[in-house]
Every structure is written in C-alpha cells, then in structure tokens.
Amino acid sequence: MKSNNKGQIRIIEAFLAVLIIFSSFAVSANFTITRNATRRDDLASVGSQALLKLDSDGSLGKFIDDGNWTALRDALNILLPVGVCFNLTVYDDQMQQINTAVISNGGFSSQQIHFTEYICASQGTVFRCYIIHMHLAVAT
C-alpha cells in the first residue's frame, strides 16, 4: 500500500509548477498591452485638413494668386502640428509648377513620407484652378 503512494507528491509538485508557469505566461502576456502607445496617425489627412481650413475663407487661393509663398508657408506652419515637416508644390490646371520658391519648413529626415493632393479654386474675379501636392513627414 505504502509503495503504491510513492511518487505522488512529485506529481502534485509537477502539476503545481505547470500551473504557476502557465499563470506566469498569462499574467505577463497581459502586461504587454497595458502600456500607452500614443501615435499621431494619418499625416495625409492632417495635411488635407490644414489646406481645407485655409481654403474655407479663400485665403489659400489668394496666397497662390498673389504668389505669397512665405505667407502660405507660415500659415501651414502654424496649422500643422508641431514636428510635422511639409513640402508643397502648386501646379496650374496644365500641371505646370507655379510656385517660384520652395514652400517647406525643413528637410525630410523620416523614412515614411505621406502624400496628399488638394484641388483649390481661386475665389478671385478670374476663375483659376490649382492642384496642390503636399508631402508630409514626422520630423525625427
């Protein structure tokens, strides 16, 4: 009878060890999703929205009509979140580049560059249509 009970405590120990190891996996797996990962997403959408805001009162078209590239760059610099680099190219309806100066707030050092295209109609007395290509990246 006594010899039949031999080794039972080892089996219980083994079961307990397995239980603890699996619970450790379960708990640590849970830890991996308890951290915050704040992320600013979709730069193209942010860029489009900034252009849309400038266009809502006609100032985007006016900047282009007047060739006021400095003001356009400054306005985008204020509207876009801090740490976002942009480079803007303005074309006419024949896809000829209009901007004579670089409209940018710095060089792109990021690997991920986002692109957005925006079509703007000037609200001046003469109808003009502009195609704006905007590249954006997060400054690193």
Binding residue for other proteins, selected from 3, 4, 5, 56, defined by CB under 8 A:
56
* Contact criterion met (CB below 8 Å) for 39 and 69: no
Binding residue for other proteins, selected from 15, 24, 92, 121, defined by CB under 8 A:
24
Binding residue for other proteins, selected from 79, 98, 113, 131, defined by CB under 8 A:
79
How far is residue 73's CA from residue 90's CA, in Å, rounded to a whole number?
Answer: 12
* Contact criterion met (CB below 8 Å) for 62 and 123: yes
How far is residue 7's CA from residue 116's CA, in Å, rounded to a whole number?
Answer: 71
Binding residue for other proteins, selected from 15, 45, 101, 112, defined by CB under 8 A:
45
Residue 125 backbone dihedrals phi, psi, to 5 degrees: -65, -30
Q: Which amino acid is at 26?
A: A
Closer Cβ to other proteins, 22 or 93, answer by number:
22
Count of residues near other proteins by CB under 8 A: 42
Kindly state the tokens that stand for 67.
Answer: 């060739």
| Binding residues for other proteins (CB under 8 A) | 9-10, 13, 16-17, 20-21, 24-25, 27-28, 31-42, 45-46, 49-50, 52-54, 56-57, 59, 71-72, 74-75, 77-79, 81-82
